[in-house]
Structure 1
């Protein structure tokens, strides 16, 4: 299920109990954290969702403001929430939805004004264990291969675990070197200073939304967080 949803731009599945009541969420973060602890087929064969899901599911109301939503996401470090809909169920609000909002805003904010941040990278001779340690230690889902515009992500890890490594059967996964294990995704290099609406439109249609501008990387998370700016006017 996660492989399917990772490919459609969300990394979270809602966990429900009796009568489809939402009680939590599970995604790439929970899988990566737990395979680091138990990188064996036993983890996939004998662990249930109930044992590892995140109970901190954010359920919004129609009166929740954008500022309140972003503050919550900063605390949870997950760009995902649900909101009751008119069908009696719930709809998801994720980073993709906020890219859509960014694409339709009016602003003069540009890429050069985005807050600077450290770019976390890995090297070709790193093991999968070292790569996951970098992800967990820096609270990031994507790492650039040093001196390139190629990156690895939790999405790639999960896809490879399921499709290429048969859920760790007869494989010492964490000890494998990166070079012998994975193909990478390519970040898009941007040379001109685009405004927020332009870069949001571009990233909204990208299968792997990850952009390099000068010495910075821009992710959907960065777009979400900058939407708090008072220099943005939202279209009705």
Structure 2
């Protein structure tokens, strides 16, 4: 179920790291392991990148700052003794849906929350989407700024905000892709945090039946580039399904 991990040295500039992240956003891996002396010393993902950008919303952040200055701490290393429950608890405690498996000769493979969808798809549970616990739906409006959107994401520890009164959402991935590919890493952009949310691309929430079995829901999510769905009264992400696996 693991996938070869992507790695980089701590000296790599953030524009290179962001480019690497964007190239792999559609895969199961959206974090890069920072390696020094053949050992993982941190991780850098979309979350760490946007948190750093919130503090320094300029082209200089991408052009001058290195991965080692932005990376987050990391201790999610899986061993042969690690159970599935241990893995999920580890991810939850570290607040990062990512873990690595060390192999010989200094290379690593990676497990993400989205990878755990594969496990859910093969499970024999009779649970349905309606049994996933409800949670508060964090919203935004088209007039909100990037400052508000990013601050809300970090304050509520969510990677997606739902557009108020609509079934569309914005995600950290969509924001990062536009910064890299449309805004040229903010080169010439002096007011990034003041840009309105309606200038960023949105994704449509796929509506599903509350009676959809969890394995079928996991299979459907595996085919989505941004797995995020809604029922009549709840929003469901891969992490919600991962938490069910622990039970």
Answer whether TM exceeds 0.5 for this pair: yes
Aligned equivalent of 1:174: 193
Q: State which of 48, 54, 71 in structure 1 corresponds to 2:72.
A: 54
Runs of 4+ in 1 over 6 A off after TM superposition: none
Q: Is 2:101–2:108's contact at 8 Å kept on the other side of the alignment?
A: yes
Aligned equivalent of 1:17: 36
Q: Is 1:187–1:208's contact at 8 Å kept on the other side of the alignment?
A: no
TM alignment of 1:125-164, pairs within 5 A? 125-164=143-182
- Which whole-Å CA distance do the structure 1 matches of 2:115 and 2:237 have between them? 14
* Corresponding residue pairs, total: 227
Give the TM-score taking structure 2 as reference length: 0.88
Whether 2:132 is the aligned partner of 1:114: answer: yes
Aligned equivalent of 1:222: 240
Aligned equivalent of 1:234: none
Q: Is 2:128–2:210's contact at 8 Å kept on the other side of the alignment?
A: no
Q: Is 1:73–1:80's contact at 8 Å kept on the other side of the alignment?
A: yes
1:44-74, Cα deviation, whole Å (9 max, x unpaired):
1111011111122411101101111111111
Moved more, 88-97 or 208-217: 88-97
Q: State which of 57, 61, 66 in structure 2 corresponds to 1:39.
A: 57
Gaps of 5+ in 2: 1-19
Instruction: Give the superposition deviation at 1:24.
Output: 1.4
Give the TM-score taking structure 1 as reference length: 0.92
Q: State which of 68, 93, 96 in structure 1 corresponds to 2:114.
A: 96
Q: Is 1:62–1:83's contact at 8 Å kept on the other side of the alignment?
A: no
Aligned equivalent of 1:70: 88
Q: Is 1:188–1:212's contact at 8 Å kept on the other side of the alignment?
A: yes
Whether 2:216 is the aligned partner of 1:198: answer: yes
Aligned equivalent of 2:9: none
Instruction: Give the superposition deviation at 1:88.
Output: 5.8
